[in-house]
Amino acid sequence: MRYKLLGRSGLRVSELCLGTMTFGETWGWGASKAESKKMFDLFANAGGNFIDTSVNYTDGTSEEFLGDFLKTDRDHFVVATKYSLTHPDNPDPNGGGNSRKNMMKSVERSLKRLKTDHIDLYYLHIWDYMTPVEEAVRGLDDLVRQGKVNYVAFSDTPDYIVAEANTRADLMGWSRFIGMQVPYSLLDRAVERAIIPMANHWEMAVLPWGLLEAGILTGKFLKPVKNATRINSKRLKLSEKSLKVVKEVESISQEVGKPMSQVAINWVRKHPTAQMIPILGARSAKQLKDNMDSIAWSLTDEQYKRLDEVSAIEMGFPHDFINGNRYLYGDTLDKIDGRRA
């Protein structure tokens, strides 16, 4: 395991992050405490130090499990958790959302469950379109000043909100946001239009989840048919383009002799511009081990290009308009460096 600085900070984190939404079975699926401990130990023994959870994952079971697992060597790990969401049956109108009130209640709940006096990285989990940006940013900065949180980040939030938050943080001397957690995979590249460019501009790390699209990119829906394979498309209802992407992942998997899951993860890891730190989620130690083994090898440039081309999305306005505007670039258009793309 190698380590990276997390965004524009001095915080050193492993190149893979362990996602723990599967720690606990209270949502009707997931891993038992014993299996969760196996996954935690496997990740830690491989050199992983970056752990991701949330105040609401498996109704708090995830944080409780982690609190027990971390207590013998808490300072070694970089622990990230989130606030915003709540249980759908919660009757408290302030039981969720981005408000200072929910923020302060949630951080105390997480600290208690995690059995720690500080959280290394605290995410605003999802934007609620109700709370003023300055309320959330100032509240998170207060947590940093109180020593309850070391760094702050965003998850599942529009790019313009994050840009405003970092602008306010810079102007007011508040804590800037160093990470952006988003869904990203070969079958879901929408964040390339605005969120990834925004993260690059603000020197934020990108922490993608959903790398395997609920198993679609692992190949588990492929069926062998006389030296070939076909996809159970009736069950998945995949588009023609998505089918081509899955087949290309399978083709490269056969070329390199590695599982399809590792091919899909390594495409994300090899992103040419963003600092990517993938979040791995698994329901068993075996699944986690298979996914972690992706760091032992890399796609070639040619393989990356094939995957990139088959899964490419329409960037739309303003990207296409700017990149193809001869009146803007003149005869130098074809000589501009890679940032043009």
> Identity (one letter) of the amino acid at 281?
G
> Annotated catalytic, 57?
yes
Give the active site residue among 57, 122, 123, 151.
57
Beta bridge partners of 275: none
Tell me whether strands 149-155 and 3-5 are parallel, antiparallel or unpaired.
unpaired
Instruction: Please calculate the CA angle 219-189-323 and round it to the nearest 5 degrees.
Output: 140
Count CA within 13 A, CB hemisphere, residue 51. 31
Paired tokens of 163: 């840009």
Q: Which two tokens stand for residue 151?
A: 């760094």
Q: Which two tokens stand for residue 145?
A: 């000043």
Name the amino acid, one letter, at 64: E
Tokens of residue 291, six digits: 């996914």
The closest of 303, 309, 322, 295 to 48, measured between CA atoms, is 295
Q: What is the DSSP letter of 111?
A: H
Active site members = 57
